Amino acid sequence: MTRRRWIADEVSGNTAALVGEHAAHLARVLRAEVGQEFDIAAGEEVRRGTITTISYDRIEFALGAKQHLRLRSGAPKITVALAIFKFDRLEWAIEKCTEIGVARIIPVIARRTDAHLASAAVKRRERWQRIVRQASEQARRSAPPEVAAPVKLKDLGGDGVLAADALRVVLDESLAGSEGDTRLGAILQSHSSAVATDDEVTLAVGPEGGWSDGELSWFYEDGWVQASLGDTILRAETAAIVATALAFDALR
């Protein structure tokens, strides 16, 4: 049976630990016992971990043999710049994009983002980091994606936010039903030979109602490639998940 994977909060030599709520879930909900074995993601490697001590806010492991990692080959790092919308649906998209394998998630304050959501987003970041860690453990990733601090759209193209040579694609609902060469899969496939495995591809997914005309003009002037997901208009969380899956498939 496949062992459950945990991403260690602390690593020192041949020991690792989960702390705080992370440990409490394993101790209280899953009723961990001394001697149980799990896969422990410890930095750049995954090792067999045996529980040595348990408390409700700390669980320690003795680390054993390194575990073989099945690495995805031929796929670049994918960043999702996700406009902030209703938190329950946004967080579902964050969770599923993490399971698919994104490297980075950037929450974006768009023109159509509700003001109270924009103001609450900064405090929500810690919760989003917990969500991606839990989703990464469920998906047996060795590390969670980065969740960046929320940014305004005008700052998305600023220094250090995105890699200078990243392929940048914005989903544009106005292109729905257009010819096939404007669809995301076709656009990414046309760039696949030019995208190295260590390059970054960024997908910008708009809020409910899509990006405004002014925002689309900004994307166009900033050199983003515009694309659609087909003939129908998808909800924002669906669009994020579909776009991520299409990107991995097209660029694999």
3-state secondary structure of 122: helix
Phi, psi of 119, rounded to the nearest 5 degrees:
-70, -30
60-109 pLDDT tens trace:
999 998 877 655 545 578 999 999 999 999 999 999 999 999 999 999 99
> How far is residue 137's CA from residue 95's CA, in Å, rounded to a whole number?
11
**For residue 252, pLDDT beyond 80:** no
Question: Any idea where the domains of the chain sit in the sequence?
Answer: 5-66, 77-251
**For residue 1, pLDDT beyond 60:** no
75 within 8 A of 251, measured Cβ to Cβ? yes
Q: Say if pTM beats, i.e. exceeds, 0.75.
A: yes
Note the pLDDT of residue 157. Answer: 74
Instruction: Give me the architecture of the 77-251 domain, per CATH.
Output: 3-Layer(aba) Sandwich (3.40)
184 within 8 A of 228, measured Cβ to Cβ? yes
5-66 maps to CATH 3.30.460.80? no
- Measured in residues, the chain has a length of 252
> How far is residue 251's CA from residue 194's CA, in Å, rounded to a whole number?
10
**For residue 5, pLDDT beyond 70:** yes
Per CATH, 5-66 and 77-251 having the same topology is answered no
Q: What is the DSSP letter of 1?
A: -
> How far is residue 111's CA from residue 210's CA, in Å, rounded to a whole number?
10
Q: Which amino acid is at 128?
A: W
86 within 8 A of 117, measured Cβ to Cβ? yes
Provide the mean pLDDT of the chain: 88
**For residue 15, pLDDT beyond 80:** yes
Confidence of residue 240 (pLDDT cuts 50, 70, 90): very high
179 within 8 A of 231, measured Cβ to Cβ? no
27-47 pLDDT tens trace:
888 888 999 999 999 877 899
